[in-house]
Structure 1
Amino acid sequence: MDVNVSHDLLKKFLAFNHDKKLFSKGEKIGLCVSGGLDSVVLLDLFVRIRDAWGLDIVVLHFNHKLRADADDDADFVAALSEHFKLHFECGQQEVAHIAEQQKISVEMAARQCRYTYFDDIATILDLDKIATGHTASDQAETVLLHIVRGSGLNGLRGIPLKRGRIIRPLLCAQRREIHVYAIARGLQWREDSSNQDEKYRRNRVRHTLLPLLQAQFNPQITKALNRLSESAGESSLIMKRAGRKAFRNATKHTADGKIILEIERFLAYLKSLQRLILQQILDESGHDPRILSFSRFENILSFLRAQQSGRTLRIKENFSIMISGRFAIFGEVSEEKRHFLIINKGPGRYELWNGLFLEIKEILKPLILKSKNRESEYVDADSIVDPLIVRSYQDADYFYPINGAGKKKLSDFFIDEKIPFYDREHVPVLESAGKIVWIGGLRMDDRFKITEQTSRIFKLRIGTREQKNSF
C-alpha cells in the first residue's frame, strides 16, 4: 500500500468537508454504494473516519434491474457492508419498464427511481445526510453536457454539492485520484459494462469529448470546468434571490391555488429574471421547473406579449396559462368550479363558500335607510319566490342594474367593475324564479327594488365567517 497516496486523498476529503461543511461528527449518514470504483472509495473513506467522528453509517444500494449481473452488484455491496459490520439497505425497481410507461429516457427513469428510494429510506431510517460518490470528473462531464445542450446559468452549476440532505463529498477529487487511491488501498470494485457503451451521451463526453479537450485545448480542463461550476453556483444564488424578489413583486396567489402574474410588470424584467419567475411559478404549482426548456420559455414569452384576453396556453397536460386582461393565470386544467346552493328565502344565516355567508333579515316599515355599504342590500321581500338560489355566474347571465339603463350582460358588468376573471366564479349571484336578485356585494336588480307598494323588506348581507351575525 502507498501510504502517502492514501493519506493525501483522506486529507483532501476532510479538508473539503471542513471548508464546505457537508457533514458533522455524530451524524447518521447513508452512503450510496453501487459497487463501482467511486462509491467503494467513498465507503472506504467514511469507514476510516467512522470511529474518530462517531458516525453511524448505513450502506444504501439501488438495483435498477437493467443488466443481467445487476443482482451480483447488490450481493457484492451486501458483502462489503457485512465485512465492515455496517447496516445494509437495498431497493430495486424495473427501471426499463418505468421508462417505457412514463415515456422518458432510461437514464432519467433510473435517476428518479434511485433518488426517490434514497429519500424514502432516509426518512424511514432518520438519516441526517445521504452521501453519493460523484467526483470532480463527473462534474466536468455534467457541465459539458449542459453546455452542449445550450444550458443557462443554472445548468452551468452542474451537480449541486448539497441538495437537501444529499451531499457529494468526493467532488474534490478527479477519477484518476480515486483510482490511484483504490489501488493503493487494495480495494476491489465492480465494473459496470454500460459505462463503456457510447450510445449514452455521457459516455461519449467521458470517452471522446473530454479527452479531446484535454489533449488539444486545456490539459487542466476538468479543473477549469469545476471552477466554472463553482462560479456559476455563486452567481446563481445571487440571481435566485433577485428572482424570488421579482416573483413576489409580479405575482399573487388565489384562494384556490392558482398563481396570478401581472403581465406588464413581468415583461419589464430582464429575460434571466423572467425565466426565474416562471420557474418559481412552476415549482410552487407542483411542477418540475426543469420543464422550462428554451423553446417552451420563448413560446410562453410570445404568448404573454400578445396579451390576448381569454386565450389559453397549455404548458403540460394538466397545467395551463390563461390571459385575463392585464393578468396571466397559471393553474391546473380542470372543470370550472361552479357553486350552487338552494336555500329557503326566510330570515336566517346561510353558509356559502370561501368563508362567505348570506344573512337575510326582515326589516319593518317604515324603512329608515342608514349609510349602506356594498356588502348589504334592501329588497322587496314579496317579489322573491321560493326557493332562493345562490350560485356562481353563468355565461348567459343578464340582469337589470338598479338605476341603470336597462338590460346588461353580467360578463360586461364584471368588466366594467374591473372584477378579475379568476374571482368572478366566486361572486355570489342570488336568483329567484330565474331572475337575478343581487350580485352579492356589487349591485342589485332593479326588478327587486323597494317601491311605494312594498309591504315587506329583506335586508341581504354578504359577510365572512369572522364577522358576527347581526341578529
Structure 2
Amino acid sequence: MNHKAFDAIVKLDLIHQGDRVCAALSGGADSVALTHFLWKNREQLGITLTACHLNHCLREEESFRDQRFVEDFCRERSIPLTLRTVDIAALARKNGLSVEECGREERYRLFEELCAGEHSLVATAHTQSDNVETVVFHLCRGTGLKGLTGIPPKRGKIIRPLILATREEVEGYCQREGLPYVTDSSNLQDVYSRNRVRHRVLPELEAVHPGAKEAIARLSRTLALEEDFLEEEGRRCLDSIRLGEDCSRPGFLALHPAMQGRVLALLLKERGLEVTAQRLTQLMGRAEAGEGQVSLPGGWIFAASPTTLAFLEESAQQSGESIPLPREGLPDFSIQSASGKQLSFWELQDCEQIKNFIQKKDSRLKNILDYDKIYNTVLIRHRLPGDAIQLVGRGCQKSLKKLFNEEKIPPWKRPGLWVLADPEGPIWVEGFGAAQRVAATGETRQGLEIKEGEDNE
C-alpha cells in the first residue's frame, strides 16, 4: 500500500510541502491506514496533519464505540481531532433523503467547513475497491462517460491518496503495522445497495472472469483521461459558438452530437443547475426545433430561436420598471437592465458634430434625439401593449410587436429591451433607434445621445 499511496500523491499531484491535511477518520481499516500513513510520513511529505470524525448516531452504542476509538487513536499519536455528532436518521427524515444521501451530505459539509478554515486539504480513504464498486453501481443505475470514471482522485480540496490501492492491500498494511480498527456492522449487511454490489455482484464478476475488478479499475482510469480531454474540447466548442451571453444555434447544430450534449451540460453548470439526462433531452429538443422555452430551477429559462440559444432569468423577463429621465446631470446618469446591458445618456450641445454625423451617415446618428422635439417628461421603460413607432427612414408607423417579428428578435429578448417614451408614445427603442418625429437633423440645437453597451466608461 505504501508505494501506491506515494504514487498517487506524486503522479496525481495530491499533496505539496506545507499543506495542512485533515484525515477523515471513521475508525475503519481504510481510514485508519490512511491516517497512520500520513502521520508516519508527515515529515517526508512536509505536511501538518489533523483528523476529523463524524458520529452519525446510526448504530446506537456502536457509533460511540467508533468515536471513542478515534479519540484514543488520535490522542496516542498527538493528532488534533475535530469531532461532530449528527443524528443522521432524524435529519434524513426531516429533509426527505435516504440515510446514505444524508450521511454523505453531512460528511462533505464538514469537509467544506474544514477547508474553508485553516486546512489546505481533507483526505478521504476511498480505495481502488471503492472506485470499482462505484463504477459498477453507476453502470447499473444508468450513467454517461463521466459516471464510468468513478471516484476522482482529487475534487477541489478533497484528496484520495489510497485510490490506487485495493481494500486487501489496505488491510494488509494495518496487519503489518499492528494497527487496530473497528468494523462498521452496517457494512456487513446487504441493506444498502453499495453493499450488495460489494458482496454479491463483484464476486460473481470475478467468478466469471478472474481479474474483473482490476480490469474495471483500469477502464475507469482510462476513461478519466478521455473525459478530461473531452471536457476541454467541450469548453472550446462552447467558446466558439458564444454570442455574448447567448449562443449561436447554427453553430451549436454544426457540432458533433457528443459535443452538443457537453456544451449544454457546461451551460447548465455555469448557472449552478444539475445536469440530468432528462434535462439535456429537453434542452436538445428545443435547440433542434429552434423555438420554445424550458423552465428550469432557480428562476432560469432556456429559450431557443432559429438563430440563438439563451439562458434567461425570469426576473429579466418580468421587469415592469419605469424610470423618469432627468433633464439635469445626464453625464452621471445610466441604467442597467436585468440582462446586464447598460444605457448611458449624453447631452450634445455641439450642433456641428451632429451635422458631421449626418454628412458622414454615422451609425451613431440613429441614437441621437432632438431634445426640443420631445414632449415633457421622458420615461425609460420596457415595451407595453399597443406601443408603436415610426423609425427614421421608414415609411409608416409599426407596432413594436410587428417590428420585433420582422427583425427576428428572439421572443425572450423582447421584454428586456428598453424603450424611451414621452406622453405621445415611444421615441426610441433599444437596438432600433429614434422615432422619426424626434430624430436629430441639421437644424438640431440640443441633442440627446443614447449609448448602448455592456460598459460605457
TM-score for the superposition, normalised by structure 2: 0.87
Q: Does 1:210 align with 2:197?
A: no
CA shift for structure 1 position 247: 1.2
Paired with 2:200 and 2:219, the residues of 1 have a C-alpha distance of 21
Structure 2 residue corresponding to 1:88, chosen from 81, 101, 106: 81
Mean Cα displacement is larger for which, 371-380 or 223-232? 371-380
Paired residue secondary structure (2:54): strand
Paired residue secondary structure (2:117): helix
CA shift for structure 1 position 52: 4.0
Alignment of 1:374-393 (within 5 A): 374-376=363-365, 381=371, 383-393=373-383
Paired residue secondary structure (1:375): helix
Residue pair 1:379, 1:457 contacting (<8 A) in 2 also: no
Residue pair 1:375, 1:442 contacting (<8 A) in 2 also: no
Residues 24 and 390 from structure 1, CA distance in 2 versus in 1: closer, same or farther, beyond 3 angstroms?
closer
Corresponding pairs, count? 445
CA shift for structure 1 position 422: 5.4
Q: What letter matches 1:341 in structure 2?
A: I
CA shift for structure 1 position 22: 2.6
Q: Does 1:119 align with 2:112?
A: yes
Alignment of 1:268-347 (within 5 A): 268-288=254-274, 291-293=275-277, 295-308=278-291, 311-316=292-297, 318-334=299-315, 336-345=318-327
| 1:56-97 C-alpha deviation (Å, 9 max, x unpaired) | 111111233333243332232122111110111123444444
Paired with 2:169 and 2:131, the residues of 1 have a C-alpha distance of 15
Residue pair 1:388, 1:431 contacting (<8 A) in 2 also: yes
Q: Does 1:183 align with 2:165?
A: no
Q: Does 1:195 align with 2:187?
A: yes
Paired with 2:269 and 2:8, the residues of 1 have a C-alpha distance of 31
Mean Cα displacement is larger for which, 370-379 or 189-198? 370-379
- 2:362 alignment partner in structure 1: 373
Alignment of 1:99-138 (within 5 A): 99-127=92-120, 129-138=121-130
| 1:91-112 C-alpha deviation (Å, 9 max, x unpaired) | 3444444444544433233222
Paired with 1:363 and 1:167, the residues of 2 have a C-alpha distance of 65
CA shift for structure 1 position 313: 1.0
Q: Does 1:149 align with 2:141?
A: yes
- 1:439 alignment partner in structure 2: 429
| 1:24-69 C-alpha deviation (Å, 9 max, x unpaired) | 4443211111111110111122222224444311111123333324
CA shift for structure 1 position 300: 2.3
Structure 2 residue corresponding to 1:460, chosen from 438, 448, 457: 448
Paired with 2:38 and 2:438, the residues of 1 have a C-alpha distance of 80
Paired with 1:450 and 1:141, the residues of 2 have a C-alpha distance of 73
Percent identity between matched residues is: 27
Paired residue secondary structure (2:396): coil
CA shift for structure 1 position 16: 4.1
Q: Does 1:39 align with 2:31?
A: yes
Residues 34 and 250 from structure 1, CA distance in 2 versus in 1: closer, same or farther, beyond 3 angstroms?
same
Paired residue secondary structure (1:199): coil
Q: Does 1:266 align with 2:252?
A: yes
Structure 2 residue corresponding to 1:160, chosen from 152, 165, 179: 152
Paired with 2:412 and 2:76, the residues of 1 have a C-alpha distance of 62
Q: What letter matches 1:371 in structure 2?
A: K
Paired with 2:179 and 2:329, the residues of 1 have a C-alpha distance of 84
Where does structure 2 lack aligned partners over 5 or more consecutive residues?
A: none
Residue pair 2:128, 2:163 contacting (<8 A) in 1 also: yes
CA shift for structure 1 position 134: 0.8
Paired with 1:85 and 1:324, the residues of 2 have a C-alpha distance of 64
Residue pair 1:378, 1:458 contacting (<8 A) in 2 also: no
Q: What letter matches 2:435 in structure 1?
A: D
Paired with 1:172 and 1:348, the residues of 2 have a C-alpha distance of 65
Residues 226 and 80 from structure 1, CA distance in 2 versus in 1: closer, same or farther, beyond 3 angstroms?
same
Residues 464 and 332 from structure 1, CA distance in 2 versus in 1: closer, same or farther, beyond 3 angstroms?
closer
Paired with 2:247 and 2:93, the residues of 1 have a C-alpha distance of 36
- 1:224 alignment partner in structure 2: 215
CA shift for structure 1 position 322: 1.4
Paired with 1:464 and 1:402, the residues of 2 have a C-alpha distance of 18
CA shift for structure 1 position 196: 2.7
CA shift for structure 1 position 268: 2.5
- 1:5 alignment partner in structure 2: none
Residue pair 2:371, 2:448 contacting (<8 A) in 1 also: no
Residue pair 2:342, 2:456 contacting (<8 A) in 1 also: no
Paired residue secondary structure (2:214): helix
Q: What letter matches 1:459 in structure 2?
A: G
| 1:256-285 C-alpha deviation (Å, 9 max, x unpaired) | xxxx23223222222321221112111111
Residues 358 and 421 from structure 1, CA distance in 2 versus in 1: closer, same or farther, beyond 3 angstroms?
farther
| 1:302-322 C-alpha deviation (Å, 9 max, x unpaired) | 2221222xx211233533311
Paired with 1:162 and 1:266, the residues of 2 have a C-alpha distance of 31
Q: What letter matches 1:185 in structure 2?
A: E
